[in-house]
Structure 1
Amino acid sequence: MKSSVLSVAAAALLMTGCQEQQTMSEAVHQLHVTSAEDFTKAAGQLNQDLEAVCESYSPASLAAAQQSWRQAMDRWMVFQGRDKGSEAALALSWQIQFWPDKKNITGVKLSQMLKQDKAWTVADVAGQSVAVQGLGATEWFLYEHADQLANGQGCALAGAIGGRLQQSSEQLLAAWQNNPWQQMTPQMALGEYLGALNNQLDYSMKKLGRPLGKPGSPKPYQAEAWRSQTSLSHLKASVAAMQQLYLAGGHGIDALLREQGFGETADRINNQFASLLADWPQSDAMVPMLKTVAGYRELLKIYNGLEYIRIALHDEVAPELKVVVGFNATDGD
């Protein structure tokens, strides 16, 4: 009799754990759907503002389009580098943002396209390299070659790129309508979830590590958004997105750690995210900070803070939740 009671209790505990992880899967999926909706709205607004610049070029219309670009970039940071989830969504990543662009392929190809006597369309751009289809290409126009938006040829191409980006955002939203973790076992879905957070951490560290280079030899033009001088603000958006993923509206890894008796681990990770965001440098730009010893140290402090979280995920969270975290998309890059 005692054995039967224990068996029932164990089964109930197992069922409760499965329900908790199912709730987690649904919460993480809904987070992606909502974020895809936000990105689609931002991409649509950017497309409209690009058209407005071309219809009536002025400092005010250009500033509005630049602000819309920054908003779209921040919304994209939710998805950047996670490399887990919907395969259809992941396939869109490069055409939404081509980075790193170590050889300035975006600039070279756009310059070549502008020399062609052609009325560019969204379909034309879709047939070109991914380097000219997304956020990097619109940044090139809005910040480095805004003068091209004052003529018909430049506007036709910029408008087609804006339309292509909006199209890609709509495809991203459609791709996230189905929950990619629904058919997985709860533990496998948890592994994918933790893997997504781990991948995004690695990617964010790469965004910071590339321009940091070696002490005394920074590489400012490897910063993500050096043309707009907004690299650091977008990195902050990445960190905020990772914190949001970690929490998942109260149903994420943080909650699962606490439910399983690992509240101390949860506190340290959550506090590290909060500390990073609270102490974030005032500058939107990374490049000026790379040029001073004090600025370089501040950026290195952010890097070390992200590494602290990554080590905690590998060495504490994964064993505590009994999850195997394998190699990720940025390993060997």
Structure 2
Amino acid sequence: MLPMLTLVVLAGCDSDVNEISQAVHQQHLAAAQQFAVAAVGLNDSLSGLCRNDGTASLEAAQQAWTHTMQSWMPFQGRDKGSEAALSLSWQIQFWPDKKNTTGRKLDQLLKQGTQWSVATLAGQSVAVQGLGAAEWFLYDSPQVLQSAKGCLLAVAVAANIQHSGEALASAWQDNPWQAMTPELALGEYLGALNNQLDYSIKKLQRPMGQPGYPRPYQAESWRSGTSLENLRASVAAMEQLYLAGGHGLDSLLRDRGYGATADRLADQFAALLASWPAEPSLTAMLNSREGYRQLLNIFNGLEYIQLMLQDEVAAELGIKVGFNATDGD
């Protein structure tokens, strides 16, 4: 496993880093608000489907779920920033679910006579509280939504996701880097990008397995067949984090005379997204030699970006590189 970025020993312009911190915070706040709005839409759509009031359909609810899932991608795996926001990660998304933990636990809950609500669901496993649970209802077992008991639990799950979305938006109201030294704030920023790269590589690497021996149930969103589409949204979110609206790492590298490095990083992000396969399912790509080759190209592209961050950007900006507890995972 590649080393992770740790502390910054850079002596730079404080005003530049403060501007970056504000831009990155505003980006997170806007994304959290977008996720909260998407979660409301999912709750409304699934609730309408259960009411059978003619205003919702399974397809519309699935689209609302896809939109909410992709709205979550900017936060997935970054592991930096608001502690209150980070504490919500597992209840928003449980992954990997290679043993169908979500499905098995939801089956068990459906056999109970509990009057499910956000409050009662909070005492259950995170595997049944978030987006994976909603995916199970909408894609794996939509027939359950034809029963009152199934709808009660499904609506509780959707309401819980909405509640988590509201909490996420609230948690990002304050800038978690504002009280930090500029050096530490920059280290957090770079660490967030590096951590998300590491997470995204794992999302690809785990289901790929070894040539000829894929592990499709380790793919994210394998029930809906949207794992590769989600991964593209993750890469797009990392590109936006790198750019930070013209006030991010790209701009800092250029300002300090490392335009060539900035160009290579920006070009690599753009090339990855431009050449992305049209197939939304990673599992489908694993079923052919050509599909596997394209996944390898994505893997190599992500690894190239991570190596640039750790070998070139770290050296050019004076960032100390170390190892963390996930090495060798």
Counterpart in 2 of 1:183?
179
Match of 1:6 in 2: none
CA contact (8 A) 2:45 2:56 kept: no
Deviation (angstroms), 1:326: 3.6
Structure-1 separation of matches of 2:305 and 2:12? 28
Read off the aligned partner of 1:176 and give its amino acid letter: W
In the other structure, the counterpart of 1:258 is 254
**5+ long unaligned stretches in structure 1:** 1-13
Q: Which residue number corresponds to residue 214 of structure 1?
A: 210
Q: 2:151 aligns with which of 145, 149, 155?
A: 155
Which of 180, 199, 202 in structure 2 is aligned with 1:203? 199
Structure 1 counterpart of 2:52, which letter? Answer: S
Match of 2:285 among 276, 283, 289: 289
CA distance in 1, matches of 2:283, 2:97: 16
AA aligned opposite 2:125: S
Please tell me whether residue 235 in structure 1 is matched to residue 231 in structure 2: yes
1:119 to partner: Cα distance: 2.1
Query: What corresponds to 1:10 in structure 2?
Result: none
The whole-number CA distance in structure 2 between the counterparts of 1:41 and 1:93 is 17
Structure 2: state its 5+ residue gaps.
1-9
Q: Deviations for 1:99-136, whole angstroms, at most 9, x for unmatched residues?
A: 01222211110000011122211111111111100000
Separation in 2 of the partners of 1:327 and 1:83? 15
Q: 1:91 to 1:329 in 2, by over 3 A?
A: farther
Does 1 or 2 have the higher relative contact order (CA < 8 Å, sep 6+)?
2
Counterpart residue number, 2:319: 323
Is 1:192 the equivalent of 2:192? Answer: no
Report the alpha carbon displacement of residue 329 of structure 1 after superposing the two structures with TM.
6.8
Correspondence 1:224 to 2:220: yes
User: Deviation of residue 331 (structure 1)?
Assistant: 3.4
Q: Which residue, out of 42, 48, 73, partners 1:46?
A: 42
1:166 corresponds to: 162
2:298 to 297, 302, 311: 302
TM-score, normalised on structure 2?
0.94
| Change in CA separation of 1:88 and 1:37 when aligned onto 2, cut-off 3 Å | same
CA distance in 2, matches of 1:240, 1:46: 22
Contact 2:242 2:249 in 1 (8 A): yes
Q: Percent identity?
A: 62
> Counterparts of 1:300 and 1:212 in 2: how far apart (Å)?
9
Selected match of 2:136 from 133, 140, 159: 140
Aligned counterpart, 1:95: 91
The answer as to whether partners of 1:28 and 1:245 remain within 8 angstroms in 2 is: yes
Matched, 1:75 2:91: no
Opposite residue 186 of structure 2, the aligned amino acid is L
Residue pair 2:232, 2:273 contacting (<8 A) in 1 also: yes
**Structure with bigger gyration radius:** 1
